[in-house]
Amino acid sequence: PIKSDSEHYPPDAKLRVYRSRAGGNEWEALTKGLPQKNCYVNVLRDATCVDSLDPCGVYFGTTGGQVYASADEGDSWAPIVRDLPAVLSVEVQTLP
């Protein structure tokens, strides 16, 4: 919800990523491994990316300074970096 022009929080203070496998007609919340209590961070537009692996890895950073990764297309998440300044952008590169 939007509290003010500068304050946006996840609904119910639960961090979620949403995935659609139906062209955007249906969406599922992906929460395994993400904070589900007292989470007051945002994910900015450029702070999400995917890699070229199969299955693809998904990554996102938060304004709270955490970077989360999923190696299974978002089914489960783990923090890979903490205690950074606000993450404004995330880029990923796979090595040959």
* pLDDT tens, residue by residue, 45-74: 899 999 999 999 999 999 999 999 999 999
Q: Where are the domains of the chain?
A: 2-81
* pTM for the structure as a whole: 0.87
Sheet arrangement for strand 48-50: 48-50, 58-61, 67-70, 78-81
**What confidence score (pLDDT) does residue 8 get?**
72
